[in-house]
Amino acid sequence: MAVNPEPQVFLFLSELLGRKIVDSEGRPIGRVLDLTGNIGEIYPPVIDILLRLKGNKKNVLFPWRKIAAVNGTLVAHPLRPEDFREPVPRSGELLLKDTLLDKQVVDTDGAKIRRVNDLQFLQANKILYLVHVDVGFHGLLRRVGLKKLIGFLLQKLFDYVMADQLIAWKFVQPLSSPDLLRLTIAQNRLAQLHPADLADIIEDLDIHQRSAVFRSLDVETAAETLEETDPKIQVSLIEGLSTANASDIIEEMSLSEAADLLGDLPKDRAEGILKEMEKDAAEDMKELLAHPEENAGGLMTTSFLSFGPAVTAGEAMEKIRLEAEDMDLIYYLYVLDGEEHILGVLTLRDLLVAPPATILSELMDTRVISVNIEEKKGRIADDFAKYGIMAMPVVDDESRLKGVILFKNLLEVVAPKLGR
Say if residues 304 and 328 touch (Cβ distance below 8 Å). Answer: yes
The H or E element that residue 36 is part of is: strand 28-37
What CATH number should be reported for the domain holding residue 89? 2.30.30.240
Say if residues 129 and 64 touch (Cβ distance below 8 Å). Answer: no
Say if residues 120 and 129 touch (Cβ distance below 8 Å). Answer: no
- Specify whether 286 is located in the same domain as 309: no
Say if residues 37 and 44 touch (Cβ distance below 8 Å). Answer: yes
| 204-207 contacts at long range (C-beta below 8 A, 24 or more positions apart) | 204/113, 205/104, 205/113, 205/175, 207/236
Judge whether residue 49 has pLDDT over 90: yes
- Specify whether 361 is located in the same domain as 281: no
- Domain presence at residue 66: yes
- Specify whether 43 is located in the same domain as 82: yes
- Domain presence at residue 180: no
Its pTM stands at: 0.66
- Specify whether 69 is located in the same domain as 121: no
Q: Which residue blocks in 278-346 are alpha helix, DSSP H?
A: 279-289, 296-299, 313-323
- Specify whether 133 is located in the same domain as 78: no
- Domain presence at residue 182: no
- Domains in the chain, number: 4
3-class state of residue 48 by DSSP: strand
- Domain presence at residue 185: no
- Specify whether 84 is located in the same domain as 170: no
Return phi, psi of residue 130, to 5°.
-80, 115
- Domain presence at residue 146: yes
Look at residues 96, 116, 131 and tell me which one is the last residue of a structural domain.
96
Q: Which of 316, 323, 322 is nearest to 345 (CA)?
A: 316
Q: What percent of the chain has pLDDT over 90?
A: 32
Q: Which of 276, 346, 359 is nearest to 312 (CA)?
A: 359
Q: What gap in Å lies between CA 266 and CA 52, rounded to an integer? A: 53
Look at residues 96, 128, 160 and tell me which one is the last residue of a structural domain.
96
Judge whether residue 326 has pLDDT over 50: yes
- Specify whether 88 is located in the same domain as 113: no
Q: What gap in Å lies between CA 378 and CA 101, rounded to an integer? A: 51
- Specify whether 310 is located in the same domain as 404: yes
Cα dihedral across residues 400, 406, 411, 414: positive or negative? positive
Q: Beta strands 332-336 and 305-307: pairing type?
A: parallel
Q: What gap in Å lies between CA 12 and CA 220, rounded to an integer? A: 38
- Specify whether 249 is located in the same domain as 337: no
- E-strand ranges in 209-360 read 305-307, 332-336, 342-347
- Specify whether 164 is located in the same domain as 265: no
Q: What percent of the chain has pLDDT over 70?
A: 86
Confidence of residue 416 (pLDDT cuts 50, 70, 90): very low
Containing domain of residue 377, as a range?
A: 305-417
- Domain presence at residue 335: yes
What CATH number should be reported for the domain holding residue 405? 3.10.580.10
Predicted pLDDT at 417:
47
| Beta-bridge partner residues of 295 | 376
- Domain presence at residue 413: yes
- Domain presence at residue 6: no
| 242-246 contacts at long range (C-beta below 8 A, 24 or more positions apart) | 243/269, 243/272, 243/273, 243/276, 244/276, 245/215, 246/273, 246/276
Look at residues 257, 290, 323 and tell me which one is the last residue of a structural domain.
290
Confidence of residue 419 (pLDDT cuts 50, 70, 90): very low
DSSP string covering 368-413: ---EETT-BHHHHHHHHHHHT-SEEEEE-TT-BEEEEEEGGGGHHH
Q: What gap in Å lies between CA 415 and CA 379, rounded to an integer? A: 14
Q: What gap in Å lies between CA 286 and CA 288, rounded to an integer? A: 5
Q: What gap in Å lies between CA 110 and CA 55, rounded to an integer? A: 47
* Residue pLDDT, tens place only, 264-307: 899 899 999 999 888 888 888 888 888 777 788 888 888 899 99
- Mean local confidence (pLDDT), 145-158: 59
- Specify whether 127 is located in the same domain as 79: no
237-241, 253-257, 345-349: the lowest-pLDDT one = 253-257
